[in-house]
Amino acid sequence: MDVRRIIGLNARRYRLQAGLSQEAVAERMGVDRAYISGLEGGRRNPTVITMWHLSVALQIPLPAFFERPEDDESIYRQVSLGA
């Protein structure tokens, strides 16, 4: 799985766990909602600074965004269903 996809899936999962909208995360990071959508969709190549802002916005340690799910299909279903 591509690292951008891993980051995107983790970002979406942590955002949903925090009960935040893409708009709320974007506001906390100083970007627009479309950027968050692209990031979660694996269509963005975020800089370290952007990842730091995401980490702060979601209160999640930075390395957690790079952790590959043990079961890629399982996390994809969780994120797709908003679980």
Cβ-proximal residues to 72 (8 Å cutoff; 6+ apart), any chain: 1
The mean per-residue pLDDT over the stretch 10-18 comes to 97
Q: How many CA atoms lie within 13 A of 68 on its CB side?
A: 6
Amino acid, single-letter form, for residue 53: H
Amino acid, single-letter form, for residue 73: E
Q: Which domains are seen in the chain, by residue range?
A: 3-81 (1.10.260.40)
Q: Is the pLDDT of residue 72 over 80?
A: no
Assign 75 a pLDDT band (cuts: 50, 70, 90). low
Angstrom CA distances, 9 to 63, 68, 70, 73, stand at 14, 10, 13, 11
pTM: 0.81
